[in-house]
Amino acid sequence: MTTRHTISRADTLYSGSAYYAAASSIPGLPVDVFNWIQFGAIAAASANAIATSQASSGGTNALTINGALASGGVATIPSPRNVVAAWTNTAIATVVGTDYYGQAQSEVSASGTSMTGKKAFKTVTSVTFNAAVTGATVGTGTAIGLPYRVDKGGLVIAKVDNATDAATFVPADTTSPATTSAGDVRGTVAFASAPDGTKVYNAQIIIADRTGGVGKQVGAYGVAPV
């Protein structure tokens, strides 16, 4: 005789005590034996999707957010990822926006004429420089943000379409409290087969601590961004 026991008809089951209000009002993490993150198709990186070439006199004179991803002065990035920028004249760039879960986040570059950010941004609302620059462009990179904190050794496998991908994984930056020059609080993955808007991306991960750890947040979602 075949029997069946239905545990729940809910769309998703959750377990554990991990909790981060910015991610969900429901405590616990989705019950997923394999922890597959399905990114879907990811748009190609773009050097000026956030701000097209322009000048800034520095200080509080922010660039106009007018790239292809911009609307009403805010650039919204469909798949949260790192920010890249280039400009003339040596300066330090400050990028302000929100992280994967819409929490305020900022990142400061080293002094120079370009930036390849380490943090995954969901939106960018402001880009400023500490000195006058010209020809400044701001866009999206190839480092894709992860929704949970993944520590060293926590990327099990990366897949593009049906093939295994030799992705570059950067573990969560556990600096506490977070700083504007630190890496992403959950970690990022850059696929060797670069996003082009059509290929489908997936990653199997190990969440650092499914219980959530300190305050029920840090182990699963990382320290609070800054």
For 110-144, what is each residue's pLDDT tens digit?
999 999 999 999 999 999 999 999 999 999 999 99
**64 pLDDT exceeds 90?**
yes
pLDDT at 33: 73
Peptide bond into 195 cis (omega under 30): no
Q: State how far the Cα of 177 lies from the Cα of 2, in Å rounded to an integer.
A: 54
pLDDT tens for each residue of 66-81: 999 999 999 999 999 9
Pairing, β 133-145 against β 74-91: antiparallel
- Percent of the chain at pLDDT exceeding 70: 100
Name the average pLDDT for the chain.
96
Q: pTM higher than 0.75 for the full model?
A: yes
pLDDT recorded at residue 125:
98
CA distance 37 to 50: 26
**Any idea which of 33-37, 129-133, 147-151, 163-167 has the lowest mean pLDDT?**
33-37
Question: How high is the pLDDT of residue 41?
Answer: 98
Reduced to 3 DSSP states, what percent helix, strand and coil does the chain have, rounded to the nearest 5? 5, 45, 55
Q: What is d(CA 29, CA 129) in angstroms, rounded to the nearest whole number?
A: 39
Q: Could you report the per-residue pLDDT of 182-191, keeping only the tens digit for each?
A: 999 999 999 9
Give whole-number Cα distances, 43 to 39, 83, 85, 201, in Å.
11, 14, 18, 11
Read off the pLDDT of each residue in 100-113 and give the average, rounded to a whole number: 98
Q: How far apart are CA 92 and CA 77, in angstroms?
A: 23
pLDDT of residue 5: 84
Average pLDDT score over residue span 14-43: 94
The residues with which 155 forms a beta bridge, in sequence order, are 205
> Tokens 């480092």 identify what position?
143
* Span 208-223, average pLDDT: 96
Spatial distance between the Cα atoms of 190 and 80, rounded to a whole number of angstroms:
12
C-alpha distances in angstroms, 120 versus 22, 57, 130, 162? 16, 27, 22, 25
Domains in the chain (CATH in brackets) are 14-42+144-221 (no CATH), 46-142 (2.60.120)
Instruction: Measure the CA–CA gap between 102 and 123, rounded to whole angstroms.
Output: 8
* Per-residue pLDDT at 200: 98
